[in-house]
Amino acid sequence: MKYIKYSQTLVLKSFGALFALGLTVILNKVLDEKSFGIYSYITSVTTFFSTIILFGNAKYIMAELPKTTKLYFFNERLTAIKTINISIFIVLSLAISILYFMGINFFNTMEMIFIGIIMIISYYLSRNKINMSILRASNYPILSEIPELILKPLFLIIFIYLLNLNSVEQILSFLLITLLTTYLIGTFLINKNVGPVFLNFFKISLKFNFISKSLIVFFIALVTILKENIIIYTMPYFLNFEFIGYFKIFSHLALLLSFGMMAVNIPQAYIISKKILTEKGDIKKHLITGLIFSLLYYIILSIVYLLFGEKIIEVLFGPQLIQYMDLFYLMMIGQLIYILIGPMGQVLILSKNYSYALKSLILSFILTFLATIVLIYFYSFKGACYAYILNLFIVHFSFAAYSYMKLNIKPSIFYLLNNADKK
């Protein structure tokens, strides 16, 4: 049964990966190298802003909603969450506007209206994350992924082709339209399958007693985004925007290797949230099953990359990346580390060991930030790829250590090896 669920989410993830890869290929074709790098940088910035607007509420919903028997018990908190999100969005937008008019322009030549589009994109990225969390926490893992994973890249591809979009400004404007559409679809899926949500759109809830719980989750989410994007945020200070595009392509292709693990994580999140305090043995079994499933997927795709990787990249993205293929093969190792250890970060968060998850992420962020500056300064683009591997290594081993010390749950590979030794 577990393998059926994993297979279903893997199929969905695979289709999503194809659409995302197709979008990356199209963007690389319609934009020049510099513009593609700028687009990659800006979308990373919107991800950062959306994390601030979310205020940790996506993870909070995942941890708390499975405990309720009816969604309407949770609606009051959801109303308050929406109020918080809107408030942060307004404050953040005002702050950026003030800085802009003071002459502190984060986007240089970008017009104010364009900055406004970026902020609204960030807001609806956060709203889509909320919708995804509600569906996941209500045990609808497949439906939770459809708006963001399938429909968003598909709609944007359609817009680019039908309207012949060929500039960063045009594509980001229609990305906003796409996000509005997927948000409405996600809300429809929630209302149809889970229950009515956000009926009191304009109601201001004053019961913010859960803010303290959301606050630490917010810091976890914020540090996570900083950690995941610190290399891209740092690169413009040392390298041309073209290299940001190259890094984005390699990291995207490397990420595909962990889609097996991601497919496992979606249904496992609900299981872990339900059983973490009572059935740790069952959780360990799920982690081992996930490891086997994820590793098989990794091996198959790795063989494809090793045999045909150069040809695939040349055909899809051009010959200019071939000279860096050795770096891509190294980045593949980073994803293998994640798979072998397992989703220990998810285990820590869903078991409400927020402080330990945060400590791991802060340590990883600081070390990655320092290493990124040094490595890019001395090794240029190669240094960015080295930092990518180091980042994954540090954070997942840190998660693993805390999971073992605080929950007595060994990471997948160590649990498996330990049992093998006993036999």
Report the pLDDT value the prediction gives residue 216, as an integer from 0 to 100.
75
Report the pLDDT value the prediction gives residue 156, as an integer from 0 to 100.
94
Q: Establish if 37 belongs to a structural domain.
A: yes
Report the pLDDT value the prediction gives residue 182, as an integer from 0 to 100.
93
Report the pLDDT value the prediction gives residue 396, as an integer from 0 to 100.
85
Q: What is the pLDDT along the chain (423 residues), one digit of tens a residue?
A: 455 555 666 677 778 878 888 899 999 989 998 899 989 888 888 888 888 877 767 766 766 665 554 555 455 566 666 666 676 777 777 776 666 666 545 445 455 667 777 888 888 888 888 888 888 777 787 888 899 889 999 999 999 999 999 898 889 989 989 999 999 998 888 888 876 654 443 343 444 445 556 677 778 878 888 888 889 989 999 999 899 999 999 998 998 898 878 777 766 666 666 666 555 556 677 777 778 888 998 999 999 999 999 999 999 998 999 999 999 999 999 899 888 888 888 778 777 777 888 888 888 889 889 999 999 999 999 999 999 999 888 888 888 888 888 777 777 777 666 665 454
* CB atoms inside a 10 Å sphere around CB 153: 21
The total number of residues shown for the chain amounts to 423
Q: Establish if 392 belongs to a structural domain.
A: yes
As given in the structure block, the two tokens for residue 23 are: 């979008």
Report the pLDDT value the prediction gives residue 6, as an integer from 0 to 100.
59
Task: Show the 3-state SS of the chain.
Answer: CHHHHHHHHHHHHHHHHHHHHHHHHHHHHHCCHHHHHHHHHHHHHHHHHHHHHHCCHHHHHHHHHHHCCCHHHCHHHHHHHHHHHHHHHHHHHHHHHHHHHCCCCCCCCCCHHHHHHHHHHHHHHHHHHHHHHHHHHCCCHHHHHHHHHHHHHHHHHHHHHHHCCCCHHHHHHHHHHHHHHHHHHHHHHHHHHCCCCCCCCCCCCCCCCCHHHHHHHHHHHHHHHHHHHHHHHHHHHCCCHHHHHHHHHHHHHHHHHHHHHHHHHHHHHHHHHHHCCCCHHHHHHHHHHHHHHHHHHHHHHHHHHHHHHHHHHHHHHCHHHHHHHHHHHHHHHHHHHHHHHCCHHHHHHHCCCHHHHHHHHHHHHHHHHHHHHHHHHHHHHHHHHHHHHHHHHHHHHHHHHHHHHHHCCCCHHHHHHHHHHHC
- Look at the chain and report how many structural domains it folds into: 1
Q: Establish if 423 belongs to a structural domain.
A: no
Exposure of 50 in the CB half-sphere (CA atoms within 13 A): 22
Closest of 202, 189, 71, 49 to residue 132, by C-alpha:
189
What's the rounded Cα separation, in Å, for the pair 268 and 141? 10
Q: Establish if 198 belongs to a structural domain.
A: yes
Q: Establish if 421 belongs to a structural domain.
A: no
For 262, the domain range is 2-416
CB under 8 Å to 141, separation ≥6 — which residues? Answer: 5, 9, 135, 266, 267, 269, 270
Relative orientation angle of helices 33-54 and 241-255, to the nearest 10 degrees:
60
Q: Establish if 138 belongs to a structural domain.
A: yes
Closest of 170, 169, 176 to residue 152, by C-alpha:
176
Can you say whether the dihedral through the CA atoms of 160, 164, 165, 166 is positive or negative? positive
Q: Establish if 422 belongs to a structural domain.
A: no
Q: Establish if 55 belongs to a structural domain.
A: yes
